[in-house]
Amino acid sequence: MNIRKIVTIREEVLIEGGRAVEPAATIAIVVAVVANPWAGQGFVEDLGPGIDATASDLGKLLAPRVVEALGIPVEAYGKAAIVGMNGEIEHGSALIHTLKFGDHFRKAANATTLLPAVEKRAPAGTVFDIPLKHITDATIRSHHQSVEVRLADAPHPDEIAIGLAAAGQGRPHARLAPLSTER
């Protein structure tokens, strides 16, 4: 795994809709910009060796960093893979849609649900949203949210930006009725 850089972002929302948010709504994001393990190889039929060589190490690196950056217990989480223009979307999916990657975050967050994800191919500087859902019950509406991320110089054409996001709560002032009320 060849990492060019790691970016950590922590956001605290103090006012939403003109009203104070107490305690502050906190979200953390950690993104590693890595060399695409399949770059320059043309179409690779079997992605398994690249997954084995990269995915678990990425999960092990990012999961504790995002939990630490958040600084409070994780209630919502998500992941992202933004593939540089010389790669395939499947390359990003291969790294994040495996238990070898995701189980590190589930364990660090004491989570049980699947991690919501975004993956796409895009040039450096592209804005992308990481979707978040509750860590144990994906039907809890208050925790359905997303966080916007942009790395000015990533990913380069032969790189992948792999990110994790964590929130310590649902949306500020969430007030939608529970999903169960619509049956």
pLDDT digits (tens, 9 = 90+) for 62-99: 999 999 999 999 999 999 999 999 999 999 999 999 99
SS3 57: helix
SS3 70: helix
Distance CA 149, CA 96 (A): 17
User: Is the pLDDT reported for residue 109 higher than 90?
Assistant: yes
Choose among 8, 130, 38, 37: nearest CA to 81: 130
Q: What pLDDT band is residue 179 in, cutting at 50, 70 and 90?
A: confident
Distance CA 39, CA 177 (A): 47
Mean pLDDT value across residues 110-115: 96
Q: Which domains does the chain show, CATH number per domain?
A: 3-182 (3.30.1330.110)
Q: Which two tokens stand for residue 127?
A: 């804005």
Contact 178/141 with Cβ under 8 angstroms?
yes
Beta bridge partners, 11, equal 27
- Indicate the pTM of the whole model: 0.95
Listed in sequence order, the residues at least 6 apart from 98 whose beta carbon sits closer than 8 Å to its beta carbon are: 51, 55
Contact 49/142 with Cβ under 8 angstroms?
no
Interval 38-53: pLDDT, tens: 998 999 999 999 999 9
**Which pLDDT score is estimated for 112?**
96
User: Is the pLDDT reported for residue 183 higher than 90?
Assistant: no
Which one-letter DSSP state was computed for residue 113? S
Interval 160-178: pLDDT, tens: 999 999 999 999 999 987 7
